[in-house]
Amino acid sequence: MPTKLVLGLQHGDEGKGRVVDDIAEYWADVVVRFQGGGNAGHTVYDREGNKYVTHILPVGIVIKQSDNHISRRNITNIISRGCVLNVIDLYEEINSFKQKEITPNDLQISGYCPLIEPTHILLDRLKYQGKLGTTARGIGPAYSDFYARDSILFKDIVKNPEATLYKIQEKFFNFQTEIAQSNVDGDVINKNFSFFNEWTKNYREAIKCVSNFIMTDESLIIDLYEQGKNILLEGAQGCGLNIHSNNYPDVTSSAPTVGGALNSTGLNHNQIDEVIGVLKAYKTKVGTGNFPSECDEINGNILATIGNEYGATTGRDRRCGWLDLVALKKAIFTNSVTDLCITKLDVMDELKQIKVCVEYKNKEPLYKNFDGWLTSTEGITEYSQLPENAKKYIEFIENFTECNAAIISTGPSRDQTISK
């Protein structure tokens, strides 16, 4: 009854979707997205080179029957109660996959997912946009309402969509009254009304679709585990953005950690067999906040350009920096990581010198320098074929963190992978 967990060890954008897709293709019966909302942007490529981006849908949805090079059974995809749900965005995402001949027939959504309401989105835009790296999709305010025990849940709209809409409208009008009293510009208030009217029009159509996917049994994940199914837990964001981390307030609003996965799924720590921690061969961050190992402009531009470091959800530039092994080792310890997956090794092919943060002194990073390998690693699938300097770099990471790099990606597609 094995269970594997994939989580990010940095500030998100590590390539978790790519790893989940690779494992799901050959192993998983079940893929569970366990936290976050539509702020994720998990990008995968199938073997024909087609690109897919999931925001709230689990990556297992991409495994198609057309991928017939491997004998596939259907994968059950679950959005668990640790996620917040925008039903309109979910409806649009489902439709975008249907246009690519992917129908999520095996999708199950917990009825206890808190809803992202129009008020949450507007509050996010008004208060936080341009700060903290937020995607302005209402994620933070939705979690705030949940912990204040003031959420509307997915099961509420399935049971009585019109009564739930009335509650959503009531909260919106109260919000408008509050911001009007705070002397917000009248144009903002008018735009809010326009947004809400458009949202209301789309709400009814969305509900007709997404209500079909509600779980009939909230113990489904545990039941599947007891049936001996291979369960793959998919995290969003990364440990460096954990709401409980020392990076607060420059964090996400959920717990992209092993602890968060257990709370969201109902599994216990003895039922997680492998924890696969995903990291880039370098480091990136979106938005403001402390980034001690951020690199100089020249190297940053090389990494950003070759690595296409622009958000899959927002399109925003990502700040680029050197790998921080101090922070990485802490994330590995906290989450009992069993194996590492290093992504985007090929992005560093053109760097003459590579730095790695190995210590802090007076809050300033101290680096170890490595010679670059200055030759292409793209598409290499055998560890022995890597340049010697690339091997030295990987082996130093392994020795420092005391964790094996079981997977190394040398490109975006499923078959550009080294398994050690």
Q: Are 34 and 234 in contact (CB under 8 A)?
A: yes
Say whether pLDDT at 268 is over 90: yes
Torsions phi, psi of 244, nearest 5? -95, 10
Question: β-strands 353-361, 364-371: how paired?
Answer: antiparallel
Active site residues: 13, 42
pLDDT for position 393: 98
Give me the chain's average pLDDT, please. Answer: 90
Token duo for residue 207? 């509900």
> Does 26 score more than 90 pLDDT?
no
pTM: 0.92
pLDDT at site 128: 63
Give per-residue pLDDT as tens, 276-301: 999 999 999 987 778 999 998 888 88
pLDDT value of position 68 = 46
pLDDT tens sequence across 366-394: 999 999 999 999 999 999 999 999 999 99
Total H helices, total E strands in the chain: 12, 16
Domain annotation for the chain: domains and CATH numbers: 3-110+215-419 (3.90.170.10), 118-212 (1.10.300)
DSSP 215-257: -S-TTHHHHHHHTT--EEEE--S-GGG-TTSTTTTSS-SS--S
Q: Are strands 51-54 and 3-8 parallel, antiparallel or unpaired?
A: unpaired
Length in residues, the chain: 420
331/218 Cα distance (integer angstroms) = 30
Return the higher-pLDDT residue of 75 and 286: 75
- What does the pLDDT average to over 127-141? 73
Distance CA 152, CA 314 (A): 26
C-alpha to C-alpha distance for 99 and 118, rounded to whole angstroms: 27
The pLDDT-based confidence of 317 (bands split at 50, 70, 90) is confident
| Number of Cβ within a 10 Å radius of residue 51 | 12
Q: Count other Cβ atoms within 10 Å, centred on residue 150.
A: 10
**Model confidence at 329, in pLDDT bands (50, 70, 90)?**
very high
Q: For 331-360, what is each residue's pLDDT tens digit?
A: 999 999 999 999 999 999 999 999 999 999
Question: Quick one: what percent of the chain has pLDDT higher than 90?
Answer: 69
